[in-house]
Amino acid sequence: MIEVKENASKLDMGVVKEGRYPLVPFFTLYMILFLYLPLLPHSVHCQCTKTPIIFNFGDSNSDTGGYADGVGLNFAPPNGRTYFHQPARRLSDGRLMIDFLCESLNTDYLTPYLNSLGPNFTNGVNFAIIGSATLPRYVPFSLFVQVSQFLRFRSRSPALMLNGYKDLVGNEDFENALYTIDIGQNDLAASFDNLTYSQVIERIPSFITEIKNAIWNIYEKGGKKFWVHNTGPLGCLPQKLALLARNATELDEHGCLQPLNNAAKTFNAQLRVLCEQLRRELINVTIVYVDIYSIKYDLIANASNYGFESPLMACCGNGGPPYNYNANINCGRTGYTVCHEGSKFISWDGVHYTEAANAIFTSKILSTHYSTPQLSFNFFCNNM
């Protein structure tokens, strides 16, 4: 069921109105917690003797407020309705995978690097920004820029702590920290806007090179533990299906665009080779490659087995079935429609995922079944 919000709060022209969306009913919240949180291996934090330190680099899949802090605005309801009960500077109805990861490690949510209002960086920093890509290199907030921000933080934090500053990260913690990277989706998405399939494929090595450079730069400053996500099934996003699906022969058996997914697979294959190469080249370093593509595609292809409905349709958007996506009426803008709370949708707004989907993604990530190499949960801990 889709609920129409004709007079919804707007993000247009920077006008954002909060607090107008009702709180999640207790029963609905209880069912979400009951159904999805048991999937997460909460025992992870029991093996950590020190607070885990995480430095995250990426795009909207893991941005916990960097974009909102950078441009000075929040997102409109119904974003954030499921867990936070209000817009929480994330493009989702609730928590992201990085949030669930922090919960599983019994540590606070990561503070964005651009947060200037009482930030707490004792458990790491989130450099991810909505819309980020590997290229162009010098455009905020590319992966290169994010790593440059980290390098500045790396050089300043220990010195400031010696001068009495708190809520920062000590020198040895940088060596024991977990460095998570989830980027590349926007590179592929933007490439398909004006390039042919073959031209997109030709650009992929340049994206991979930027990720390689990022890992090397962090390694040279003491980074030892890297957690690298590949990119998801781009051709299954309602946005891409609504804008690009023109020929039924381009769709696979689950309704996803094969050219876009094939490009994602090509990107992932090259990223996997990069991780294998860096394991040989870097000394005393662990690099875990996580197959996010298979995790997400499995949920979309077998949605009913997980209790989800309409796997290729956005919960929040405009246009109704089959995709409920309208580039001119995004989630939160006047005229949007939104599924009822408690509905089992995978896509939140046509590009980003719901909290329910993110919970399942995280449970599979932490199972280590989709990771190479498969490591125990002690890998996350700051015990080394």
Considering the chain, what is the average pLDDT of its residues?
A: 89
**Single-letter amino acid code for the residue at 384:** M
Q: Residue 69 class from Cβ within 10 Å (0-12 exposed, 13-18 middle, 19+ buried)? A: buried
pLDDT of 245 higher than 90: no
Active site residues: 60, 349, 352
pLDDT in tens, 18-74: 333 333 333 333 344 444 445 554 444 446 788 899 999 999 999 999 999 999 988
Q: Confidence band (pLDDT; 50, 70, 90) for 205? A: very high
pLDDT of 14 higher than 80: no
pLDDT of residue 377: 67
**SS3 of residue 316 by DSSP:** strand
Tell me how long the chain is: 384
Q: Residue 94 class from Cβ within 10 Å (0-12 exposed, 13-18 middle, 19+ buried)? A: buried
* Domains present along the chain, CATH in parentheses: 48-304+357-373 (3.40.50)
